[in-house]
Chain A
Amino acid sequence: MSALVINNLYKTYRNGFEALKGISLTVEQGDFFALLGPNGAGKSTAISIIASLVNKSAGEVSVYGHDLDREKEQAKCLIGLVPQEFNFNMWEPVVEILVNQAGYYGIPRKEAFRRAEETLKRLDLWDKRHTQARWLSGGMKRRLMIARALVHRPRLLILDEPTAGVDIEIRRSMWRFMREINRHGTTIILTTHYLEEAERLCRNIAIIDHGRIVEQTGMSRLLSRLNTEVFVLNLKSSITDPPTLPGYQVSLVDAETLEVEVLREQSMNGLFDLLSQQGIEVISMRNKQNRLEQMFIDLVDRSKRQGAAT
């Protein structure tokens, strides 16, 4: 069964702005799904409609087979949302925020406290349980939003830029946590501007732009469509001129750094053979640009050109 099916979803705001122009999307059970797009593309509107925070203009949404119009309560029970902006009562203690949220899902107070304890411990917030939310750091507030979204144990978790503004250490611990809950069966939909994050975590992807889905496919399939990749090579010894490597485009960034453009059909072994023949030793290498970022820019540019043509 699909965790989420969106069919022909439209949203036109009162001021006439068309945020969604008929998007259709399927997310399979157990997936870790990236929903990407530039600012204002319609990601947050789509998420808000799924979470019942915004009324749709037309279309259908179903969660684990429960239609959001006809079986609203069943569908809602299955969704957990971590929104982009902090949206909890800043004057309420952390534990009460979780207990109240559990209560709205019909979980009795005693059981709600037990679940709040379990969830806060998992997210390293148990020590802060009596602290008012406004006194938490930015990273803790983000984790509190995740804890609140999980307290009723949803089967579909929607994360709208969950790591925005948090430092790399917390971001990595949040990645570990997200992977873990996904491994235990929770379907996750992630929107993020950190494309490295989406590439590392997600198996499937949809790219939305100007209210339309411009791509929906598997992450590896999408990345395999990259025609070229640019690698940055750090050299052991200095060189003065860029080496001539037949078939590869090479440029010298500085005396100890080379940039090499590699086509999809070319192999890295061939490149290293040529470098070895010229006595150049490579001590490390990296992608110049994140691969998904490169693909994302290509797709959004193409969508813009098509939009301009029509």
Chain B
Amino acid sequence: MTSWGIYRVAFQTIVTKEVLRFMRIWMQTILPPAITTTLYFIIFGKLIGERIGEMDGYRYIDFIVPGLILMSVIQNSYANVVSSFFGTKLQHYIEELLIAPVPNWVVLGGYVVGGVTRGTLVGIVVTVIALFFTDLRVNSYGLTLLVFILTSILFALAGFINAVYAKSFDDISIVPTFVLTPLTYLGGVFYSIQLLPNFWQQVSLANPVLYMVNTFRFGILGVSDIDVRIALVIILGFITILTAYSLRLLSRGVGIKD
């Protein structure tokens, strides 16, 4: 078999293993985001949202739908890779991959696609739930799908890096709790940054999640707080940097080899 043939089968194996892993525990991986998002729609969208009125010319519940979908994609892409790859390190079955003729980029690609698959599945579930509360119309299918996938890739990569450095279960919960959740909540999921004073608007622009949420919202509703072209460049830039960094960590064996 040629090297490319080996890589293809190895990649498929990692992805299949990852998908089977999160599907086996769907009560922990797929169901919770569905319940949480339903509660968001009921509490923020229906009960509180109807008193808020319009935001950027849309009903509040319509305004928050894109952000809530993308938030679930971000959290689940990240969580899948960080917990799975940390588990392989902790139980030492990372050695199954290290001993085999699998290049680092195939290992990284397999885990990232596993994370993207879970992110996509949860995103679809949340979108279906959203249809019970709103009349969802998509402004640009292409852009919506592109941002959906790129965001998922970016956070799967971030989860991978977290897992490489993690030495304990605390280390894989610190970043999601103290970094990811605040960035997501302050990333314009529930509000337009136009509501903020000028200083806080400028501070918000340093938050990468803001660009993803707004570009995704533009894809669905056609409104955004920022220039979509700049947002896409920023997202692609982050993906490039995180990919290069992840590959460097793997090639140096950080956290996985002595």
- CB < 8 Å: which of A54, A87, A108, A109 contacts B96? A87
Instruction: Determine which residue in B10, B20, B91, B258 has the highest number of CB atoms from chain A within 10 A of its CB, and name it.
Output: B258
* Chain A 55-89 per-residue mask, 1 if CB under 8 angstroms from chain B, else 0: 10000000000000000111011010101010111
Across the interface, name the chain B residue whose C-beta is closest to A15.
B258
Across the interface, name the chain B residue whose C-beta is closest to A111.
B9
Contacts of B12 in A (CB 8 A): 103, 109
The verdict on B99 contacting chain A, using a C-beta distance below 8 Å, is: yes
- If A103-B9, A106-B9 touch, whether A77 touches B92 (CB-CB below 8 Å) is no
Contacts of B234 in A (CB 8 A): none
Closest 3 CB pairs of A and B: A103-B13, A106-B6, A104-B100
The verdict on A107 contacting chain B, using a C-beta distance below 8 Å, is: yes
The verdict on B98 contacting chain A, using a C-beta distance below 8 Å, is: yes
* Chain A 81-100 per-residue mask, 1 if CB under 8 angstroms from chain B, else 0: 10101011110000010011
Contacts of A105 in B (CB 8 A): 6, 10, 100-101
A104:B92 contact, CB within 8 angstroms = no
A52:B98 contact, CB within 8 angstroms = yes
- If A13-B258, A76-B100 touch, whether A83 touches B9 (CB-CB below 8 Å) is no
- If A81-B99, A83-B95 touch, whether A55 touches B257 (CB-CB below 8 Å) is yes
The verdict on A29 contacting chain B, using a C-beta distance below 8 Å, is: no
B96:A55 contact, CB within 8 angstroms = no
Contacts of A52 in B (CB 8 A): 98-99
Q: Categorize the interface residue count of chain A.
A: 20 to 34
A104:B95 contact, CB within 8 angstroms = no
The verdict on B149 contacting chain A, using a C-beta distance below 8 Å, is: no
Complex formed: what's the CA distance from A85 to B87 in Å? 16
Q: What would be 5 A-B contacts, judged by CB atoms less than 8 Å apart?
A: A13-B258, A73-B103, A81-B99, A109-B9, A109-B16
Interface positions, chain B 97-116, Cβ under 8 Å from A, are 97-103
B5:A106 contact, CB within 8 angstroms = yes
Contacts of B7 in A (CB 8 A): 106
Complex formed: what's the CA distance from A53 to B5 in Å? 24
B17:A53 contact, CB within 8 angstroms = no
- CB < 8 Å: which of A13, A51, A72, A90 contacts B91? A90
Complex formed: what's the CA distance from A14 to B101 in Å? 26
- CB < 8 Å: which of A81, A90, A104, A106 contacts B1? A106
Interface positions, chain B 1-59, Cβ under 8 Å from A, are 1, 3, 5-10, 12-14, 16-17, 20
Question: Chain B's nearest CB lies how many Å from the CB of A141?
Answer: 13
The verdict on B93 contacting chain A, using a C-beta distance below 8 Å, is: yes
Complex formed: what's the CA distance from A212 to B10 in Å? 37
Contacts of B93 in A (CB 8 A): 87-89
B98:A53 contact, CB within 8 angstroms = yes
- If A73-B3, A76-B101, A89-B91 touch, whether A104 touches B258 (CB-CB below 8 Å) is no
The verdict on B237 contacting chain A, using a C-beta distance below 8 Å, is: no
